[in-house]
Amino acid sequence: MQLNGKVAVITGAASGIGHGIAKRFAEAGGRVCIADLNLEAAKAAAAEIGDEKVAIAVGMDVANEAQVQAGVDAAAKAFGAIDILVSNAGIQIVHPIEEFPFEDWRKIISIHLDGAFLTTKACVKYMYAQKSGALIYMGSVHSHEASPLKSAYVAAKHGILGLARVMAKEGAAHNVRANTICPGFVMTPLVERQIPEQAHDLGITEERVVKEVMLGETVDKQFTMIADVAEVALTLAAFPTNALTGESIIVSHGWHMN
C-alpha cells in the first residue's frame, strides 16, 4: 500500500498511536500534518518524520471549532489538498459512574466525539471539492464492548462508530469513504496511566489489571502494538475503491470478534 503524496491530517499525533500512524504514512509516501494540543511536541514529532515537504505541525484543540478549521486550512495551504483524516485525539478518565465528575464526562465526550465531528466537518469541505477522500476514526474495542469504570469513554467510542457509518453514507456521493479502527489495549502512556487507576478503583493489584482486565479476553495475552494499528490505518488510507467503507476493523488479539 502506497500513498503517493496524499495528504493526511492526523490529530493527537505528537505521540502514541497518532505519531506511529504519521510515521507509517510518511514511509509510504504520504505527507502528514501533525495536529496536537501541544504545539511544541507536534513540531518535534514533525521534525523527526521529515522536512516541511513531508511533515508539518499545527496546534489544535480538537474541541475548538476555530482551531480545527485553522489547522485544516493550514495543512491544505501547505500541501495543496486534504486527502485523509485520522481522527485520533483522545483521553481516558476512569471512575465508577456514581463518582464520575460531570466535567470529566463532558471532557471525554468533547475530545473524542466533538473532535471527530469538527475535524470531519473541516476536512470534508476539501474532500468533497476534489471528489475523493478517506475518513479514519480511532475507535476502540470499546466501540463494541463495555467495561466497568468507563461510562464516558465507552459512550464516546460507540458514538464515533455511529458517526463513521453516517459519513460512509453521506460521503459516498463524493467518493469519500469512512472507517473506524478499533484497537484493543495498546501500550501507550494513555494505557499505562490506567493501570494504577483501575487497580485503585477495582481494589486489585496492577498485575491483575493487566492480566485479567486488559488482556484477559485476548487469545494470547498480548498487547496490541502501535505498529499493528498504523498498518491497518495505512491499508484504509490507501485502499483503492469504496468497497471498504462503513466498516470497523478490530485490532485486538481476538479480544472482540465480529
Residues noted as catalytic: 153
Q: Do residues 105 and 153 touch, judged by C-beta distance below 8 A?
A: no
Q: Which three cell numbers stand for residue 187?
A: 501500550
What is the CB neighbour count within 10 angstroms for residue 200?
A: 12
Cell numbers describing residue 241: 475503491
**DSSP characters for the chain?**
---TT-EEEEETTTSHHHHHHHHHHHHTT-EEEEEES-HHHHHHHHHHH--TTTEEEEE--TT-HHHHHHHHHHHHHHHS---EEEE---------GGG--HHHHHHHHIIIIIHHHHHHHHHHHHHHHHT-EEEEEE--GGGT---TT-HHHHHHHHHHHHHHHHHHHHHGGGTEEEEEEEE--B-SHHHHHHHHHHHHHHTS-HHHIIIIIISTTSSSS-PBPHHHHHHHHHHHHH-SSTTS-S-EEEESTTSS--
C-alpha cell at 7: 495528504
